[in-house]
């Protein structure tokens, strides 16, 4: 896609800016690119979030897994009838007992990748 900054360049910039000397030298360039990257990421989320949530729901329902919206996604659904304009993620949860390798594989096959995982009360996932 034209105008999209490669992921490796974003990661490199994030690592370089943690070095105080490099950060001072590259600050003007970094922040102009960071603003551009965030703008593109936000635009992509707004364009594809509902489609992504529908695909996730379809995969979960077809395979008999229970989940629920949480945090900003739940608030947006109830209060806004959609997504909150400044919320740029989709929050879902499920009970630890229902999480298993089959679920992971089904979601992977549907095109989803695990980025973060949280557990409460020492539940092992």
d(CA 110, CA 107): 5
Query: Helical H runs in 63-83?
Result: 71-75
Q: Which two tokens stand for residue 118?
A: 């949280």
pLDDT tens digit sequence for 3-56? 566 777 777 777 877 788 877 777 777 777 778 877 888 888 888 888 989 999
Of the two residues 116 and 88, the one the predictor is more confident about is: 88
For residue 28, the SS3 value is helix
Using CA atoms of 119, 112, 14, 48 in order, give the dihedral in degrees to the nearest 10.
Answer: -110
Of the two residues 112 and 122, the one the predictor is more confident about is: 112
- Provide the 8-state DSSP code for 124: -
d(CA 113, CA 59): 13
pTM of the model: 0.64
- Provide the 8-state DSSP code for 89: S
Instruction: Report how far apart the first and last C-alpha atoms of the chain are (Å, whole number).
Output: 36
Nearest partner of 16 among 3, 31, 2, judged by Cα: 31
């Amino acid at each position: 896609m034209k105008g999209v900054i490669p992921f490796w360049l974003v990661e490199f910039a994030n690592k370089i800016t943690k070095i105080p000397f490099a950060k001072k030298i590259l600050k003007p360039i970094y922040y102009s690119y960071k603003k551009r990257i965030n703008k593109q990421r936000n635009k992509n989320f707004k364009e594809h979030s509902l489609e992504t949530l529908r695909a996730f729901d379809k995969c979960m329902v077809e395979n008999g897994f229970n989940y629920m919206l949480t945090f900003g996604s739940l608030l947006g659904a109830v209060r806004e009838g959609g997504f909150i304009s400044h919320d740029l993620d989709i929050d879902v949860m499920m009970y630890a007992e229902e999480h298993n390798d089959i679920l992971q594989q089904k979601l992977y096959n549907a095109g989803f990748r695990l980025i973060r995982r949280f557990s409460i009360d020492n539940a092992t996932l």
